[in-house]
């Protein structure tokens, strides 16, 4: 089967992980935690790496600084097979840096210095379209909002479906995203976009319908953590459960989930089968530590699913 070609536009960070965080400290307070580690990450590079590991030819558009962290990100992505020819090494900005605080339950909260990610511009993206064709475009909101809008417009003119992982959480105007292929926020992001806390099935359905009515996508996919994902296509909604695993670090799970779905859809799978595949990929991801190091290969996901049949 031909490997689909997916363009990923998004953020690239070096991550510092602090593990076993007992709780969020108050202002002026220090809490004692476990060990720490460095790992390449950022929502955009997570998506690109996941697309490549899931069987796609991934092309990365993003900005890093001319520093050790930027070169480490390039080396990591190239080593997996991601096309990094449209990565830009910014002369003035630092590579983005994220402090990932991971609790003993495997959940995290994060502080991000976006650095060069704030300078990703439409011209960076336009260069990646020259003499190239893509099966899908994947992006998120960790880059300038105008670049997100312009990227969607460029892809639409070329009839390229766009998968938007609507994170990090923020309230944004959605008018310029009308007709997008997929919009997929998590619980916090859904509340930021809709004002609805998705803590009951009724509210999940309300949020899914509101997003659909405002954006008119092909699909709304709400990521609901351990509850699975809610799929809404404008006519009916369905809660698709995930898999029970021993979660130790949820970093990059949402990025992996979306990337796996995008690749499976490009390979002709149904939306429900693609979501189940995404659940399996995310399930493996949360059972490992780190961003890039936790993302599984397509073969690992297939084996995971075979063991649960």
Catalytic site positions: 255
Q: How would DSSP label each residue in 175-233?
A: GGGTT-SEEE-BHHHHHHHHS----SHHHHHHHHHHHHHHH--SEEEEE-GGG-EEEE-
Residues 6+ apart with CB under 8 A from 86: 59, 60, 61, 124, 127, 128
The Cβ of residue 116 has, within 10 Å, a number of other Cβ atoms equal to 26
Look up residue 188 and give its two tokens.
Answer: 């916090």
Determine if residue 120 is left, alpha or beta; phi over 0 gives left, psi from -120 to 50 gives alpha, anything else beta. beta
Give Cα separations from 202 to 29, 198, 209, 230, 234 (angstroms): 39, 8, 11, 12, 16
Q: What is the DSSP letter of 287?
A: T
- CB-based contact 267:306 (threshold 8 Å): no
What gap in Å lies between CA 41 and CA 96, rounded to an integer?
9
Can you point out the beta strands (E) in the chain? 5-9, 13-21, 36-41, 57-65, 83-90, 96-103, 108-113, 136-139, 162-165, 182-184, 219-223, 229-232, 237-240
């Amino acid at each position: 089967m031909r490997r689909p070609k997916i363009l990923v536009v998004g953020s690239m960070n070096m991550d510092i992980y602090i593990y076993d965080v007992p709780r969020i400290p108050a202002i002026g307070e220090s809490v004692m935690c476990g060990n720490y580690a460095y790992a390449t990450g950022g929502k955009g590079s997570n998506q690109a790496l996941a697309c490549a590991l899931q069987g796609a030819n991934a092309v990365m558009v993003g900005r890093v600084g001319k520093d050790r962290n930027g070169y480490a990100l390039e080396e990591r992505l190239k080593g997996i097979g991601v096309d990094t020819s449209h990565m830009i090494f910014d002369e003035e900005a630092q590579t983005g840096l994220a402090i990932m605080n991971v609790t003993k339950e495997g959940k995290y909260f994060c502080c991000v210095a976006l650095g060069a990610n704030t300078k990703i511009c439409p011209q960076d993206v336009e260069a990646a379209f020259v003499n190239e064709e893509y099966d899908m475009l994947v992006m998120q909101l960790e880059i300038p909002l105008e670049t997100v809008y312009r990227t969607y417009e460029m892809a639409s003119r070329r009839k390229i479906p766009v998968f938007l992982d609507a994170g990090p959480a923020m309230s944004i105007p959605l008018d310029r995203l009308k007709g997008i292929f997929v919009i997929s926020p998590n619980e916090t992001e859904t509340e930021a976009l809709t004002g609805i806390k998705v803590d009951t099935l009724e509210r999940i359905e309300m949020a899914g319908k509101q997003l659909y009515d405002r954006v008119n996508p092909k699909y709304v996919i709400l990521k609901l953590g351990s509850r699975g994902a809610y799929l809404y296509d404008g006519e009916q909604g369905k809660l698709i459960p995930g898999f029970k695993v021993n979660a130790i670090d949820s970093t990059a799970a949402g990025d992996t989930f979306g990337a796996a779905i995008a690749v499976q859809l490009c390979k002709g799978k149904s939306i429900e089968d693609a979501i189940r595949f995404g659940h399996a990929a995310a399930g493996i991801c949360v059972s490992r530590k780190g961003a890039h190091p936790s993302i599984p290969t397509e073969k690992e996901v297939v084996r995971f699913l075979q063991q649960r049949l």
